[in-house]
Structure 1
């Protein structure tokens, strides 16, 4: 199996915890001691941090000319951290921060697609845009379900 196929498969499999968390939140279910909102938001923060790190890794070899992308990768990590810190205090704000982080990553990937090291050939941005659209929609569903 090629890296492209594995990456595509992993990207779509990575949506399963988002769907599960959103479904649990929508039907009012939870894990023992963990509200579904917490399950959803913590997974979201971990994945968003992963994306920030991946962005850093793609740009680092060309960092001299890509300062904005390096800064964005750090902003994404900070949004993830803020989202985690705010989950218990301001749940809706945490979800909005996480949602904005996903939009920020895909926006910068699209704007700076020439910088991404060799991933464009296999339609990486199409995959990322599709997965991000689903993730953002699930965030909106969970956000709207909060009282």
Structure 2
């Protein structure tokens, strides 16, 4: 069986670049394509949070005997819908706050309720590192606004 670990690590690490660029545009107060940096940051954050939610959905489907599967699916959807709703209200700062809570919650839910096997421990470690970096960028984006 082919290992996708190097591809996953590379793609996950490169997924930080749009966050870095949006953080820069937000701190520099420079629009890109007519959109404020905080708006770019929030929209990309919603996309990544959707991806992480999809990963959890896949893991729950993969492990149907998990006692917390229903809770996981409901939590993921609530986090996602809340963040998406805040984007619709045209309040990107609120979106960034909700997305920050979403990223922390997704990691916590996954680490707590999806007991990682030895095969998933490197993923969880990478997820923790990337979540930490993304959360720091969320705080940087929010700092000038609050």
User: Same fold judged by TM-score > 0.5?
Assistant: yes
Q: Provide the rounded CA distance (Å) in 2 between the counterparts of 1:19 and 1:74.
A: 26
Query: Matched residue pairs, number?
Result: 143
Gaps of 5+ in 2: none
Alignment of 1:45-60 (within 5 A): 45-60=46-61
> TM-score, length-normalised on structure 2?
0.87
Task: Output the CA distance in 1 between the equivalents of 2:48 and 2:117.
Answer: 21
- Say whether the 8 Å CA contact 1:51–1:105 is kept in structure 2: yes
- In structure 2, the residue matched to 1:120 is 120
What is the match of residue 94 of structure 1?
Answer: 95
More helix by share: 1
Residue 109 of structure 1: aligned partner: 110
Give 4+ residue runs of structure 1 displaced > 6 Å after superposition: none
Query: How far does residue 117 in structure 1 lie from its aligned partner after superposition?
Result: 7.2
1:43-66 Cα shifts (integer Å, max 9, x gaps): 011111111111111102434632
- Give the CA deviation at 1:118: 7.0
Task: Provide the aligned C-alpha RMSD in A.
Answer: 2.0
The structure-2 alpha-carbon separation of the partners of 1:26 and 1:95, relative to structure 1 and needing over 3 Å to count, comes to: same
Alpha-carbon distance change, 39 to 73 in structure 1, aligned in 2, over 3 angstroms: same
Distance change in 2, residues 1:84/1:118 (3 Å): farther
Q: TM-score if structure 1 supplies the norm length? A: 0.87
| Contact in 2 for aligned 1:49/1:77 (Cα 8 Å) | yes
